Amino acid sequence: MDTQEIVERFAEESHPDVLQEFDRASLEELVAKHETPFMVLDLSEVDFQYRSLQAALPGVTLFYALKSLSHPELVKRLKSLGCHFDLATSGEVELVESLGIRGDQCIHTHPIKKDKEIRRALQFGCNRFVIDNMEELKKFFPYAGQAELIIRVSFRSKQAVVDLSRKFGCSLEELPQLVETAQQNGLTVIGLSFHVGSQSLTPMTQANAVRSSIAAMKVMNNVNWKILDIGGSFPVSYQEQVLPIADFCAPVMEALSEVPDGVEVYAEPGRFISGPSMIELVSVVGKAKRGARTWYYLDDGVYGGFSGQIFDHAIYPLAPLKPFDPTGDFFPSVLAGPTCDSIDVVAENIELPDLQVGDILVGKKMGAYTIASATEFNYYPKPKVVVVEDIFDPDTVETEA
């Protein structure tokens, strides 16, 4: 079935099967080999997402934001594709170092750091750091001549699901003072950065932020600007469809056409690359009729792989693995996680075909900010990650981690 047919069927059905693009037999094979709950990291999807974004942002250097999903196999695959890396902690430095990535292929983007973290990144060979305030700038005085600074500016966005400019970034008005103080203390400012928020539903905030940043660069002509870093934010279709990535990036690219000569453009995508690369398979372990609804208890929930539903405000598309008739009988249901906490509910108002204990459910687009924020509350282990070269290919190479 091609994409157009799937879209048309979706439009016709009140209970569309979100798994219809998958080969259920391949998923059944995985279930026969691995105990649920487990996630499947599909490396061919990593390739696809990386290449799609790179094609939509020609000339932009991509620094993958490790925080969204730091599985070593994904990092290794991105390295082989020529991707660079956005690091925020010493733990992330250690991970990329252990995988043979060089410091000069990375930037350190956490606007607030301990001195120890600055030293660790410098020791690794990563010398480009983001700052956004005077106190942070002072931490770099001892590293003049070693560290290069990128100043993060805040551009608030109501159109992003996660507004990151609330917590980080200086105002455009604060920039000249930061630049002057850096220069007086022998520090080199090389760029501006921003992050308009994760899962941005419109490219316009990013395009406007590009324009404002370029204007600021032109005004502050006493700086040898080398970098404009446009952050992450590139969205993924969960239950709602978002713009195709080429359409999302077109206005951003248009704004970037005004970038001054000699300024390289960086982006820090996380979700767009990792989100679609992973699915999760969970089992129904209990079933109870409570009032008008059937409660299905799963072997993973919001304390585990579904943690992004709390922290990242994402609602993942879900469907039973066993084939069902989208025009058949559906019943009001609740999907609950396994822990003893009542907040541990994955879906409250969902209509499902009748399921039995032992049935499998599949959650899609579960790569970004899922296992990265999972806990082991109640001593339930985090779901393991099975790595496949291609989920559609039965001869796929599998590893477990």
Ligand X SMILES: Cc1ncc(COP(=O)(O)O)c(C=O)c1O
**Where on the chain is the footprint of ligand X (CB under 6 A)?**
65, 67-68, 86, 109, 164, 195, 198, 231-234, 268-272, 368
Q: Which is nearer to ligand X, 234 or 324 (CB)?
A: 234
Q: Which is nearer to ligand X, 107 or 179 (CB)?
A: 107
Token pair 């992003």 is at which residue? 160
Instruction: Select the residue whose beta carbon is closest to ligand X and give its number.
Output: 232
CB of 200 to ligand X, least distance (A): 7
Token reading at 158: 């109501």
CB of 167 to ligand X, least distance (A): 9
In degrees and rounded to multiples of 5, residue 286 shows phi and psi of -160, 155
Cβ-count burial 108-127 (b if 16+ within 10 Å, e if not)? bbbbebeeebbebbbebebb
Q: Which is nearer to ligand X, 269 or 304 (CB)?
A: 269
Q: Which of 329, 293, 204 is nearest to 255 (CA)?
A: 204
Q: Which is nearer to ligand X, 198 or 396 (CB)?
A: 198
β-pair partners for 267 = 62
Token reading at 396: 């796929």
CB of 248 to ligand X, least distance (A): 12
Contact 42, 275 (CB under 8 A): no
CB of 67 to ligand X, least distance (A): 6
Measured on CA atoms in the order 73, 76, 78, 83, is the torsion positive or negative?
A: positive
Distance between CA atoms of 125 and 297, rounded to whole angstroms?
48
Q: Which is nearer to ligand X, 114 or 322 (CB)?
A: 114
CB of 74 to ligand X, least distance (A): 14
Q: Which is nearer to ligand X, 50 or 297 (CB)?
A: 50
CB of 169 to ligand X, least distance (A): 10
Q: Which is nearer to ligand X, 77 or 333 (CB)?
A: 77
Distance between CA atoms of 48 and 50, rounded to whole angstroms?
6
CB of 362 to ligand X, least distance (A): 23
Cβ-count burial 271-302 (b if 16+ within 10 Å, e if not)? bbbbbbbbbbbbbbeebeeeeebbebbbbbbb
